[in-house]
Amino acid sequence: MKKLDSKRDYEVGMVCAILCALLWGALPIYWKSLQPIDSFLIMFYRLALSCVVLFIPGLFIYKWEGIIKPLKKKGSMKYFVLAGLIISTNWGLYIAMVNSGRIVQTSIGYYVEPLIVCIFGIIFFNEKLNRFKLIAILLAAIGVSIMILSYGQLPFLALTLAVTFGVYAAIKKKLQAPALLSLFYETVFLFPFVVAIILYIELTGRGAFATAEPYKIGLLFLSGFFTALPLTLFALAANRISLIALGITEYLSPTMGLIIGIFLYNEPFDIYQFIGFIFIWIGLSVFTAGGIIERRRELTEAKGNVNDTE
């Protein structure tokens, strides 16, 4: 019975992971549909509405005691505020890039992001740099270097996306809070300031109600839902499948973004960018293969230790 439950959990986890990746991958179409609303105003609405939407399942799942518990950890509040500032910067930049015709660049950022997280893990959490990680980082660096030669400049916005999310991930690792509650705290402390900014912009005639059609305002009010839903799916998947399997499925998102940018919105994509992406893709393949090999080795060693004790 336990094996059946385990298999069922894995299947549910994979479905949740793939749905999450597909939703995140399709989001550029949603953000594009909100134009001409200002990108950073969209981000403010997204942050405020996410706070409200996340509170409801958070209360249902964790109750009041569970919601309050992470705040009792010493120094946690300042890290939640910092994480909120960083993720809101990441969101704002991402939406601005999508709405200014840089969806392909966002894909660069989110392909490089797992490797940035890996580098931060080595620097700040004393994680081991094995040959797979080193090769992956070097290949990604070559890919980005080719893109620099192609652009004639550093893809600064794409790398800023990757670095801000990497810093955010490092803070989350330090806090070790449940995904839903963590994002709720990251938004709730900024909520009063964000609502004040939204009201000021709307009341001065520069907001969504003054610039957008009614159906677009309706779509804007779904931004909290479109933030909370994939996050919930991600949390459900993380509890049921390995982080390696989860990481592999998440490569679907930037791949979809790349396809959407090139084929739906006709963004420029030359041979040099393609070659750069090939190096990044190979690097991610090496990174993923290394993670799978390491995981299998750990399981084999753990099994051997169990047999020795018996």
Q: What is the predicted pLDDT for the residue at 309?
A: 57
pLDDT, one tens digit per residue, over 159-193 is: 899 899 888 888 877 777 777 788 888 899 999 99
Mean pLDDT comparison of 18-22, 196-200, 227-231, highest-scoring range: 196-200
Q: What is the predicted pLDDT for the residue at 120?
A: 83
CB 53 within 8 A of CB 224: yes
Boundaries of domain holding 62 = 2-309
Q: Has residue 4 got a pLDDT over 50?
A: no
Least confidently predicted of 34-38, 94-98, 211-215, 283-287: 283-287
Q: Counting Cβ atoms within 10 Å, is residue 1 exposed (0-12), middle (13-18) or buried (19+)?
A: exposed
Q: What is the mean pLDDT of residues 91-99?
A: 95
Higher pLDDT, 302 or 224: 224
**Cα atoms in the 13 Å half-sphere on the side-chain side of 30:** 20
Q: What is the predicted pLDDT for the residue at 244?
A: 67
Q: What is the predicted pLDDT for the residue at 307?
A: 57
Strands (DSSP E) along 150-246, which ranges? none
Q: What is the predicted pLDDT for the residue at 3?
A: 47
Which token pair is 187?
């938004």
CA 258 to chain centre: 16
Mean pLDDT comparison of 32-46, 67-81, 160-174, 279-293, highest-scoring range: 32-46
Split at pLDDT 50, 70, 90, the class of 77 is: confident
Q: What is the mean pLDDT of residues 235-254?
A: 77
Q: What is the mean pLDDT of residues 78-106?
A: 92
Those residues with Cβ within 8 angstroms of residue 268's Cβ, 6 or more apart along the chain or in another chain = 104
Q: What is the mean pLDDT of the chain?
A: 85
Split at pLDDT 50, 70, 90, the class of 1 is: very low
Higher pLDDT, 168 or 305: 168
Q: Has residue 146 got a pLDDT over 70?
A: yes
pLDDT, one tens digit per residue, over 216-239 is: 999 999 999 998 888 778 877 877
Q: What is the predicted pLDDT for the residue at 181?
A: 81
Q: How far apart are CA 200 and CA 216, in angstroms?
A: 20
Least confidently predicted of 23-27, 36-40, 251-255: 251-255
Q: What is the predicted pLDDT for the residue at 211?
A: 92
Q: What is the predicted pLDDT for the residue at 9?
A: 80
The proportion of the chain whose per-residue pLDDT surpasses 70, expressed as a percent, equals 94
Which token pair is 13?
């986890």
Q: How many domains is the chain partitioned into structurally?
A: 1
